[in-house]
Structure 1
Amino acid sequence: MYWAKPQTITLDLPTMNCAMCPITVKKALKRVDGVAKAEVSYEHKQAVVTFEDTQTSAEKLIEATTNAGYSSTLVETGKP
């Protein structure tokens, strides 16, 4: 049996250009099944998302922001 494991990723959102953008992005991310937490920063133009990896994936989160009008890319962490 596979147990759900929380994952946290950071998405770059370079097209956010107003103070209301993070609200829209956060709503889009929170609508994705499995998302536990979404923190969106206009200042850094990034979203930090925690989700259950058995319910969703980074690809689905990127799709959610893109469908909301804000294309995003996964920020690569410094893993060897």
Structure 2
Amino acid sequence: MKKLAAMIALAAVFSAPAWATTKTVTLSVSGMTCAACPITVKKALSKVDGVEAAEVSYEKKEAVVTYDDAKTNVEALTKATEGAGYPSDVKK
């Protein structure tokens, strides 16, 4: 019985994505020229698999993106904004 319980516990531990973490990155999106631009940037970022949230500010010319690092990465995020016509870089 103890072996069965141990096997079930191990199966539960290893079936969950233990290495996936939620990360947040701030992207500098300097090409936004009007108040409607953030809508396009946010739509592009939201289409990337693994993006959990995207807040885009025209005033700050930046996008704060929360994503699952097991599903996507910063390169995919910057490619998404560039594909929408708004190149971006990680804000330093």
TM-score (structure 1 length as normaliser): 0.91
Cα distance in 1, alignment partners of residues 90 and 72 from structure 2: 14
Q: Which amino acid aligns with 1:6?
A: T
For the pair shown, the structure with the greater C-alpha radius of gyration is: 2
Structure 2 unaligned residues grouped into runs of 5+ = 1-13
- Structure with the higher fraction of residues in helix conformation: 2
Following TM superposition, by how much is the alpha carbon of 1:4 offset from its aligned partner in structure 2, in angstroms?
A: 1.3
Following TM superposition, by how much is the alpha carbon of 1:52 offset from its aligned partner in structure 2, in angstroms?
A: 0.2
Percent sequence identity is: 55
Cα distance in 1, alignment partners of residues 73 and 59 from structure 2: 25
Match of 1:45 among 37, 49, 61: 61
Cα distance in 1, alignment partners of residues 33 and 20 from structure 2: 35
Structure 1 unaligned residues grouped into runs of 5+ = none
Match of 1:27 among 37, 40, 43: 43
Equivalent residues, number: 76
TM-score (structure 2 length as normaliser): 0.80
Q: Deviation per CA, 1:3-54: give whole Å up to 9, x if none.
A: 3100000000000001110000000000000000000000000000000000
